[in-house]
Amino acid sequence: MQKKITIAIDGYSSCGKSTLAKSLAKKINYIFIDSGAMYRGVTLYCMRNQLIENGTPSTEKIINLLNEINLSFEYNTKTDKADLFLNNENVEELIRMPDVAANVSKIATIKEVRQRLVEEQQKMGVNGGIIMDGRDIGSVVFPAAELKLFVTASNEIRAQRRFDELIDKGVQTTFQEVYDNLVQRDELDSNRIESPLIQTSDAIVIDTSHLTREEQLNLAYHLYQKAID
Ligand code: CDP
Helices (H), 33-154: 35-48, 59-65, 98-107, 111-124
Please say whether the beta carbons of 3 and 228 come within 8 A.
yes
- Is 83 a member of any domain? yes
Say if residue 1's pLDDT is above 80. Answer: no
What letter would DSSP give residue 202? T
- Is 1 a member of any domain? no
- Is 181 a member of any domain? yes
Residue nearest (by alpha carbon) to ligand 1 atom 7: 36
pLDDT at 2: 77
pLDDT tens, 85-132? 999 999 999 999 999 999 999 999 999 999 999 999 999 999 999 999
Q: Residues 130, 117, 135, CA angle at the centre, nearest 5°?
A: 65
Helix (H) or strand (E) holding 171: none
The closest-lying atom of ligand 1 relative to the alpha carbon of residue 108 is 20
pTM of the predicted model, to two decimals?
A: 0.96
Domain that holds residue 191: 6-228
Q: How far is the CA of 3 from the centre of ligand 1 (A)?
A: 29
Q: How far is the CA of 1 from the centre of ligand 1 (A)?
A: 34
- Is 124 a member of any domain? yes
- Is 54 a member of any domain? yes
- Is 16 a member of any domain? yes
Say if residue 3's pLDDT is above 90. Answer: no
Helix (H, G, I), strand (E, B) or coil at 1: coil
Q: With a 6 A CB cut-off, is 40 part of the ligand 1 pocket? A: yes
- Is 137 a member of any domain? yes
Counting the structural domains of the chain, the total is 1
- Is 156 a member of any domain? yes
pLDDT tens, 156-177? 999 999 999 999 999 999 999 9
How far is it, in rounded angstroms, from Cα 90 to Cα 86? 7
Which CATH number fits the domain that encloses residue 85?
A: 3.40.50.300
Pocket test for ligand 1, best of 42, 104, 186, 195 (most atoms within 8 A of CB): 104
